[in-house]
Chain A
């Protein structure tokens, strides 16, 4: 069973949206389920601060030992900050996906659509 915290929103592609301190700003990362499926993350390629993405657009890639995956932006917005810590310590994505393993901080342009709550995501991944 993977960890699926309440209060976050989840995409079909296993990214989460977690409210940050500022209004309309969210941390984005991959879920505990996704990191478990990927296995050891060896590096994460992230966008630049100021880049904008539409919901569903590829905003980066994640290299795990077994495979590489693209990261899909779960909502439309602008990157305010990227987690530079992942450069030196990509394993944070595995050890603390919802905390220190966050990837980008995104200011949303509009209310996100088509995301799931914890219960819906749990059934999405069959748990």
Chain B
């Protein structure tokens, strides 16, 4: 591991817990602690705690904050009430994706939560777009810690260390509160298909809150969970990962994320290109598949339709919960009907699979 990797404010907690650290988006991040399968299962059955402090947080304030957010993202931020959050995309003029993000309506403005790997690129882009708007834009990523507490027992565990009324926080809503007497933005969001919270807090408070949660959840089977489990959990519910499933070569419609594009909200970056693609229809679409035989469909493995190679697996895993290989790939739209037969070539062997519309795992505790 090189010296240039950045560390999250929870780095010492990971080292103390014996995590295996790997480079990810320029940070040293825990890929696993006790084992990916055990961590995955803990989140499905009890709870897991993740350090996602590498994510980027931008604050947009000023009299035209809403106008700027509306200008740069695909979703309609004017619909957000204070504390409410929304999944959205950051498109370029041609409709391709710079990033995906979460937009929070905050007192006096917005918070945009972006992928760590895209943070500098996104901030520079938004700054450029902000010319002529009366806004103040700041990158708070380095001062902000982010802890995800996910799983059916997440609320019970969090309730032991906060006075906040958690029942009052609905799905994709957030509230300012205190955890262990530290100020925390408590958000009922996540990336696992389970109920749970994401806690935005000062970097200096991250360790204290992390330890309190680990201690409070021990009796419930809470485990610290790394990037490995995070990846298999999100894939079981079919969430796209920027860098794997979506990138600057794809548009919202190709990614199956057309529901985040509100063409009727008024002008925004990429609107014309997206409107045209919606009209014509995308040629390919990000599609789920399930292997019909045993196999582990890893990213990059070729995908065939009628014996002809049409693409590659963008994300794939042997689902720890379902015990079968599942994944995502781009297919011609005419071949995306559930049940359509395809093949994934696993080290030279064509393994049969069928198109399936995610989520692959539907029993999660998520509160919609």
Contacts and interface: CB of A to CB of B under 8 A. Distances in A.
Interface of A: 39-40, 42-43, 61, 63, 65-66, 68, 91, 94
A45 to B, nearest CB: 9
Nearest to B317: A65
Interface stretch (B32-40, B103-111, B205-213): B32-40
22 contacts: A39-B32, A39-B35, A39-B36, A39-B228, A40-B35, A40-B37, A42-B37, A42-B296, A42-B318, A43-B294, A43-B296, A43-B318, A61-B347, A63-B296, A65-B37, A65-B320, A66-B31, A66-B36, A68-B296, A68-B298, A91-B37, A94-B35
B232 A68 contact: no
A40 B266 CA distance: 50
A-B interface, 9 closest residue pairs, ranked by CB to CB distance from nearest? A65-B36, A40-B37, A63-B296, A42-B318, A40-B35, A40-B36, A65-B228, A39-B36, A39-B32
Nearest to B34: A40
A101 B198 CA distance: 39
B37 to A, nearest CB: 5
Interface string B314-350: 0001101000000000000000000000000001000
Contacts, number: 32
A44 B323 CA distance: 14
Interface in B14-40: 31-32, 35-38
A82 to B, nearest CB: 16
A63 B294 CA distance: 11
Contacts of B294: 43
Interface string B291-318: 0001010100000000000000000011
Interface centre among B31, B37, B228, B317, by most A CB within 10 Å? Answer: B37
Contacts of A63: 296, 318
Nearest to A65: B36
B37 A68 contact: no
Contacts of B38: 40
A66 B36 CA distance: 9
Given A42-B296, A66-B31, 14 more contacts: A39-B32, A39-B35, A39-B36, A39-B228, A40-B36, A40-B38, A42-B37, A63-B296, A63-B318, A65-B36, A65-B37, A65-B228, A65-B317, A65-B320
B23 to A, nearest CB: 14
B330 to A, nearest CB: 23
A61 to B, nearest CB: 7
Contacts of A42: 37, 296, 318
A10 B340 CA distance: 47
Contacts of B31: 66
A92 B138 CA distance: 51
Contacts of B35: 39-40, 94
Contact of B232 (A65, A91, A94): A65
A102 B347 CA distance: 24
Contacts of A65: 36-37, 228, 232, 317-318, 320
Interface in B88-121: none
A69 B347 CA distance: 11
Contacts of A91: 37
A40 B317 CA distance: 13
A42 B317 CA distance: 10
A65 B31 CA distance: 11
A39 B35 CA distance: 7
B318 A66 contact: no
A65 B325 CA distance: 11
A63 to B, nearest CB: 5
